[in-house]
Each structure stands twice: as structure tokens, then as C-alpha cells.
Structure 1
Amino acid sequence: MIAFLGTGLLGSGFIKALLQKGEKVQVWNRTFEKAKELEADGAVAFAAAADAVKGVQRIHLCVSDDAVVDSVLQQAEAGMEKGAIIIDHSTTSKNGAVERTRNWAAKGFTYVHAPVFMGPSNALDSSGFMLISESRELTEKLRPWLEPMTGKLLDFGVEAGGDGDAGSGGAGDVTGKAAGIKLIGNLFLISLTGAFSDMLVIGKEMGIGGEEIAKLFQDFNPGAGAPGRLKRIMARDYDNPSWELQMARKDARLMMEEAEKGGKSLLVIPPMAAEMDKFLEKGLAHKDWSVIVSDKF
């Protein structure tokens, strides 16, 4: 028997997939009607979170943020079986995940943060990516549960110089890393959406439609070069430019000019251009343009 708290779009996908795999699932949602709808798929809905977790050792959770996670678990606590494992798929802060791991351990429960890069359809067909950053022992214990829920389980629980033990407080304390990686990944997705918006804006002004832009990416795949670009940025090699700062700034000017013709503004390019100007004023025109992030990390 499994309990699942939170039956939103993502939670519902997970629940339906678990039911299709033959699992028995008890569900709860703050809006009871949403949980009740899943009874048509074979779930058993409860109006109280404490009732939904009774008699189960495996509790999944998928809600919005730290405050809601804490509130839901507080409501469920009275019905929890001692030693139950709480698996939280919510996107939360790193500190929140660390604190919950320690606080629930002190109460005799195992809290695991396992956020995902998955949409509702991924949850339903068990594709996409799930993250975990726990001790090797705990990760291997949970792997038979988590791997069937996702396309790939990404393990960040072991790092150089540490044993990966959750909650140790030392070099090996990687509890919360999954939460951090999730936020970093979402930052990239938000930035990518902003970049696509800028592309569509200037494309429209130049008479280039979205379908033509999409055609570009059939062959031009900048994502494939992302790992190399990240390594170059971290290497801080500004004296061997692949794209000089002055040339990047010129292109940014052209982009903004195209947008301005239609009275439009861009999301990503203007603040980047402003950073370029700061470094051009320092006489770094012939450096690699990535020098603009040299003082950021």
C-alpha cells in the first residue's frame, strides 16, 4: 500500500501510473474532490491527510513549495506509521529539504527529497528524470520504488571527498543537493523560455516566423554544446576568445534594434548587453565574451 499526498497535474500522473502497475494507492488532496476523482482509476481517496497515510510505510508527496510541504506533513503526522519513508517530489529550497530530513529523522521517519524534471505526461508514462541525493544505502533501498516511476533516476548522493551520508553535516553531507540541482535546472528552463521569446520577437520584425526558427534547430543544436560552454566558463579562459566581447555586443545591439522597430522589448538580451558594456569600459573588448560573468561566481 502506498499513500500519495497531492493530486495536482503531476501527482495525478504519478498516481495513475502506480495504479496501472498494480499498486494500491491511498490519496489525499487539499481539495478533496480532486482526490475523489482518482477513485475512478482505482485509488482510495481520503478527506484527511492523517487517514490517507494510515497503515502505509511509503508516503509520496507532490505539492507546491516548502510551506505547503511542511503543512501537509504536519496534517499527516498523526496517522503515520513509525519508520515510514516520506518521498517528496515537490520543488523546494535546499535548506528546506535538509531541515526536513533532519527533523523527520529525529521523529523516527525517513524523509527523502526526490524532485523531478517531469511533466504530467512523463509522470503518467514513467519517463523523464528524478533526482536523489542520499546515502548509498538509502538510495539503493529506494531504487526499486523510484526507478519504475521515471525514465532515469539521477543520483547526486556521492561526491568526491565525501561518503554521501545524509545529515552528517560534514564534507559528505549532500542532503539537499537534489533540491539545488532541481532549481538550477529550472533556472535554465526559465532562461531558455526567455531566449525563445526574444527570438520570436526579433524574428517577427524581420519577417521570420516561428516555424522557420524551429527549422533552424533541426540542424543547429546549441544544446549539444552546452556542457562544453559551461566548462569554458568555469575555466575562465578569456584570452583565447571563440567570440570576442566587442562582436557579441555588436550582435546584441542589432537584436535590440530589430525589436525596437516594432516597439517591442526583449527579456534576456538587454541585461546581458548592459553587462557587456561594463566590461567594454574596462578595455576588455578583445576578450572572450564570457568574461562578463567572471565576477559572478
Structure 2
Amino acid sequence: MRRTTTVRRTTTAGALALATVLAGCGATQGAREAGPAATQTVTAAPTTTTSSDTSEPAAEPTSDQPTTSAPSASPEATATATATATASTTPAAPTGTPSATPTGGATKDDEPDAEAETLRAGAKGPQVTKVQQQLVALGYWLGTPDGQYGSSTQQAVMALQKAAGIGRDGTLGPRTRKALAAGVRPAVRTTSGNAIEIDLKHQLLMVVEGGRLVNAFNTSTGSNGTYVSEGTTYRAYTPKGTFSVVRQIDGKRVSKLGELWRPKYFFQGWAFHGSNSIPGYPASHGCARLSNAAIDHLWSSGDAPAGRKVIVY
């Protein structure tokens, strides 16, 4: 079955710079359009083919601490659109477990704890269930608590670690337990209404409804390094500004820079999308990576519909 999303998008003349189009993870010819409102139909055939993520940067940062540097270019572009999409059943996501390997030099959070057992991927039981319930109560999405310390729980723990400013290894050790007990939650900037916020410093994507945090997800955005595509060198950055979801593809998108699972585009070729690699540091060509399970949730929950405001800072 083929799924089609039809989008009517209005762009502002001069806001789309051709030189930066390919900086997005999935830039397309449609992203280059400017001028009067245009109607675009995007069709994707969902597939279960597994493929490795090809958008890893050549070098990794040497620290797991929150990134403090920001892209040199900060477009203040605003994109708005209205869209209607046909209802669909969630397609099968590409297989694979999201990679959350910490970078070198990270402060591991797996030291022995005399009062509480250290929990990591593969653990199971009542302790895991309790931790999952605490994470969900604070807004860290992991699905339904099931007592299994799987990839979604690991991603939620990493999101907590990012919000707390501690080592990002996805393991629940002493420092992370303290952050959990203290009720650490990421701060949002939206005080009213609904929005998707992408916090580049803490590498978090957050769903805000009615000015309140609903869910926080681990994400990995532009590495701010350089890469070469078809003989031209580009900088891998995520643009700052206020945008909106202008189009979306309910399936796998294969671009020149890699694969994107169920992408939701918010500016030219930049999108937040599913991936099998969501490390604790900025690593993409510019898109905001989420786990496949996380992007599936955003589709099924309706928390990120076409037209939803997206704030990147």
C-alpha cells in the first residue's frame, strides 16, 4: 500500500538559500521552490529493508558534556504551512537497535552503588519497572513500562542525563539515580500553545502542549563539522529559528546523505526523523535524529502534525 501526504506550503521569497539546501539530511528539489504557494505531493512506499546509517561524521567529539558551541549561521527564517494527510497504519520501521555509545572521555555512570543497583541495557525486573515509571512521570518517553531495560529505556535515561548535564551513557548509575530522584526535567521556552522544541545545547527534542512539557526525547543534531557531497564541501549544521512542519513522508526516504525513517520536514531539507544511530553528541548532517520507535510515536500520537510550530535554539 502506498501512502501519500499532500502539503500546501507558503514560502517567503529570499528565505530559501540554494547554497545551503544540501545541508539537510534529505534535501529534495521541492525544497528549492520559492515564490507563490505551491502544492506538492510526496509519496513513499514503506519498506522493512534494513540499512546502516550512512550519515555518521568522520570524527567524534571528545567529550560527552552538553555541547556549548552553536552553528555560526543562525537563519531567522520562518516557514509556515497547512497540510492534510491521509490516515494510515504505522508501517514497519527498519530493524536495528539505536546506537547510544558514549564518546571517549565520558564520565561513566556505572560505578558500584552501595544503596542501589546499577541498571543498564538488558536488565529486567521490578527495579526497572519502577525506574521506567519515574522516567515517564517526568516526561521522558520510553513507551509503556514493561520491566525490560531495552533501547527505548536507554534512550530515555540518556535524555535525563543530558537534561542533568552528566555523562551520557544510557546507564542508570549513582549520578543518574540522583538526577532521577531530584526530578530533573528539561526547561522549555514555549509558555503557551503547542510546539516542538529542539534544544541544540542539550541535544533534546521536546513536545510542548499548552505551554507544558509532554515528552522529551534523546536526539542527535548537526555535527557542525564538514562533509563532501558530489564534490562540494558543506557544513553539517542545524538551523536555528522558528519554523513549522511543512511536509512529511510516511515511510523510508533514501537521500544522497543516507536514510530517513518517516521524516517530518520543518525547513527545506531539514527534518526530524527516525534513525538507528542516536548517540549522545551532535552527529548528523543537520537533521534531528530520533529512534525509530520515537518517530513512530510522534506519528501515531499526533503530537507533531503538519503545520505544528518547530522552534530550534
Q: RCO (CA 8 Å, sep 6+): is it higher in 1 or 2?
A: 2
Structure possessing the higher radius of gyration over alpha carbons: 1
Q: 1 or 2, which has the higher strand percentage?
A: 2
TM-score by length of 1: 0.21
TM-score by length of 2: 0.20
